[in-house]
Amino acid sequence: MKEYASVNKEMLAELEAVLGAEYVLTAADKLEQYKTDEETDPRMFHLPEAVVLPGSSEEVAAVVKLCNKYNVPVTVRGGGTSLADGAIPVCGGIVLLMERMNRILEMDTTAMYMVVEAGVRTIDIQKRANEAGFLYAGDPCSAESCQIGGNLATNAGGNKAVRYGVTRNQVYSLEVVTPTGEIVEVGARLKKCSTGYCMEQLIMGSEGTLGIITKATLKLQPLPPYRFDLLAVFDDPVKALDVVPKIMQAGLNPTSIEYMDNSYVRSTADYIEFKGAPHYEDGIYVIITVETFTEDELDLKMEKLDELCEAAGAIDVLEADDRIWSMRRNCQESVRLISLVSLTDDVVVPVDKIAETIKYIMQVGEKYPFPVKINAHIGDGNLHIVLCKCDLTDEEWEKNVAAFHNEVYSYAYSQGGRLAGEHGIGAKKLAYMEAYTPAGELELMRKIKLAWDPQLILNPGKIFNA
Ligand SMILES: Cc1cc2nc3c(=O)[nH]c(=O)nc-3n(C[C@H](O)[C@H](O)[C@H](O)COP(=O)(O)OP(=O)(O)OC[C@H]3O[C@@H](n4cnc5c(N)ncnc54)[C@H](O)[C@@H]3O)c2cc1C
């Protein structure tokens, strides 16, 4: 493991000279705020030595140059909603906050694009696009608190991925500060391009290890005016999951297909205090959204969807109103009602393997001493498995979590899956990344990291051991 220097007085003085003293924080209570992200296990927390708030790409570049000069690591933080310990400064050093870089710089509705700074909240981008009659199709459930820079760095998915793809599909180009402190533009506002390496795609999903994203040019889509959200309730997970390929094969082009097991139906209904949630006791929810440009098309698709769900064995088919979506959006928070410490997983498998994978996990889960909860973006093969520590000791928890993960990850890889579909690897899954990634692929990643960041300054201790 590489040794880093501590932040010293000279470095702090240089940071203050670049940013202004009010944007360099070292007070204990401030540092305390940035020792974790969404991580709930205190053993994973790590205090930074200083927190900085640059206001421009030039200031970000100057901070990175100083980190290289003083051999101090820097961890970028967007909204701090990482579920993979991505924003925790696991090697100490500096946490760099993007929150001052929060401007929407340009919106062109003729050419359908938007230019934003990386610290803009995702929901503000969505709202601005909607107000103009357009859609920004990136839609993680955390949109109210995460930033677009964090979405780009993790290649976030979300509720519209079935139809529109994930964050990397919404981007034309990026402005990035490299690990050595240069400001570069990567990508271009083109429909097609085969002009050298696709650098913007390499940076997206690199979790702040290959560059600090400072600006992005995002694609806009026309906003479909007609929408219907359907809730199909099942009493058997196999039937619930078997409906997915039928919807896709029927060409209904849904925007989302989401799954909540019964334990989530209960915990989210309790969490949002929704008395009378449909089939609270035994229902398994599949929420399907269809959006269209004409009313007739919507009617036809809804009729077909209703037919497919009933034929698949749904015990009830209803309209999914805002309360049902609120349940879905609050899956993560509702876990706190059951356990203060929990672990959220993010396995992804080919879409046609998701039913078998969920069945396997439910079966395996029965052997373990913790509750296992499952929600999933089933339309894109992405499962969120949540394990609740409840009153297990640290030792019992660690031993059982490791055994459970090894069973589940081995199975997922045997089905052609991967460790993370949207949350990234962060520090949380680094050991598993090393264990499960094919050696040749991991070696290529290491070579890229070392070539771009020879001093290993950017977000060390994340994804793999460089
Ligand atoms: C309730 C809840 C629901 C969620 N739902 C979803 C979901 O539906 N889909 C999904 O994909 N994720 C989801 N997440 C996870 C999380 O919101 C995403 O990973 C999100 O993209 C993180 O964005 P952030 O701004 O909070 O980034 P942070 O948590 O601050 O950082 C995440 C990673 O990105 C890096 N980073 C941040 N900003 C930059 C930047 N400007 N340049 C370079 N690197 C940067 C950080 O160093 C870190 O490695 C959810 C989380 C919660 C708590």
Question: What are 10-56's pLDDT values in tens digits?
Answer: 999 999 999 999 999 999 999 999 999 999 889 999 999 999 999 99
65 confidence band (pLDDT: 50, 70, 90)? very high
Domain presence at residue 213: yes
- CATH number of the domain at 310, please: 3.30.70.2190
Band of pLDDT at residue 308, cut at 50, 70 and 90: very high
Q: Do 215 and 231 have their domain in common?
A: no
CATH code at position 385: 3.30.70.2740
Whether residue 323 is found in the same domain as residue 368: no
Dist. CA 39–CA 45, nearest whole Å: 8
Question: Is residue 323 in a domain?
Answer: yes
Ligand 1 centroid, distance to 156 Cα (angstroms): 7
Helix 295-311 and helix 237-249, axial crossing angle in degrees, nearest 10: 140
The answer to whether residues 262 and 279 belong to one domain is: yes
Q: ∠ at Cα 51 (46, 53), nearest 5°?
A: 145
Q: How confident is the model at residue 328 (pLDDT cuts 50, 70, 90)?
A: very high
Residue 70 included in any domain: no
Asked if pLDDT for residue 332 goes beyond 90, the answer is no
Instruction: Provide the pairing of β-strand 256-260 with 221-222.
Output: unpaired
177 bridge partner residues: 183, 212
Residue 420 DSSP code:
B
Confidence of residue 195 (pLDDT cuts 50, 70, 90): very high
Residues in contact with ligand 1 by the CB-under-6-Å rule are 37-38, 75-83, 86-87, 98, 118, 140-142, 146-147, 149-151, 153-154, 156-158, 207-208, 212-213, 332, 422-423, 459, 462
Confidence band, pLDDT 50/70/90 cuts, at residue 242: confident
Give the residue whose CA is nearest to atom 52 of ligand 1: 142
Task: List, for residues 245-284, the tens digit of each pLDDT value.
Answer: 999 999 999 999 999 999 999 999 999 999 999 999 999 9
Calculate mean pLDDT across residues 304-318: 95
Residue 309 belongs to domain spanning: 226-332
Domain limit, last residue, from 171, 199, 222 = 222
Considering 178, 202, 222, which residue would you say is the last residue of a domain? 222
Residue 80: predicted pLDDT? 98
Q: Are residues 360 and 279 in the same domain?
A: no
How large is the average pLDDT for residues 107-116?
98
Query: Do 327 and 354 belong together in one domain?
Result: no
How remote is the CA of residue 87 from the centroid of ligand 1, in Å? 8
> For the domain that residue 122 is a member of, what is the CATH number?
3.30.465.10
pLDDT, mean of residues 296-325: 95
d(CA 182, CA 316): 57
pLDDT confidence of residue 275: 94
| 373 lies in the same domain as 392 | yes
**Is a pLDDT exceeding 80 seen at residue 1?**
no
pLDDT band per the 50, 70, 90 thresholds, residue 231 = very high
Atom in ligand 1 nearest the alpha carbon of residue 332: 1
Secondary structure element (H or E) that encloses residue 221, with its range = strand 221-222
Residue 78: the pLDDT is: 98
Residue to mutate, 142, 378, 418, 449, ligand 1, most ligand atoms under 8 Å from C-beta: 142
pLDDT of residue 238: 86
Residue 181 in any domain: the answer is yes
Residue-wise pLDDT tens digits, 137-189: 999 989 999 999 999 999 999 889 999 999 999 999 999 999 999 999 999 99
What's the pLDDT at 158?
85
Q: Are 147 and 122 in contact (CB under 8 A)?
A: yes
Give the pLDDT of residue 93.
98
Q: How far is the CA of 141 from the centre of ligand 1 (A)?
A: 10
Which residue's alpha carbon is at the smallest distance from atom 41 of ligand 1?
149
Average pLDDT of the chain, as a whole number: 96
Residue 3 located in a structural domain: no
- Of 67, 102, 124, 141, which is best to mutate to test ligand 1, by the most ligand atoms within 8 angstroms of its C-beta? 141
Atom 22 (ligand 1) nearest CA? 150
The answer to whether position 432 is within a domain reads no
**Cα-to-centroid distance, 138 and ligand 1 (Å):** 12
Q: How far is the CA of 329 from the centre of ligand 1 (A)?
A: 15
Same domain, 109 and 218: yes
348 inside domain = yes
Whether the CB-CB separation of 118 and 215 falls below 8 Å is answered with yes
Q: Which of 34, 146, 373, 383 to mutate to test the pocket of ligand 1 (most atoms within 8 A of CB)?
A: 146
Q: Are residues 282 and 345 in the same domain?
A: no
Q: Exposure pattern of 172-183 as b/e (b: 16+ CB <10 Å)? A: bbbbbbbbbbeb
- For residue 176, the SS3 value is strand
Q: Are 139 and 193 in a shared domain?
A: yes
User: Which segments within 254-360 are labelled E, that is strand?
Assistant: 256-260, 284-292, 316-319, 342-344
- The total domain count for the chain is 3
**Of 310, 332, 354, which marks where a domain is finished?**
332
- Return the exposure string of 73-111: e unless at least 16 CB atoms fall within 10 Å of the residue's CB, then b: bbbbbbbbbbbbbbbbbbbbbbbbbbbebbebeebeeee
Whole-number Å distance, alpha carbon 147 to ligand 1 midpoint, is 7
Cα(144) to ligand 1 centroid in Å equals: 11
The dihedral of CA 446, 450, 452, 453: what is its sign? positive
**What average pLDDT does this structure show over 207-227?**
97
Q: Are residues 211 and 273 in the same domain?
A: no
Identify the residue whose C-alpha is closest to ligand 1 atom 34. Answer: 150
Same-domain check for residues 238 and 269 = yes
CA of 143 to the centre of ligand 1 (A): 9
Asked whether residue 445 is assigned to any structural domain, the reply reads no
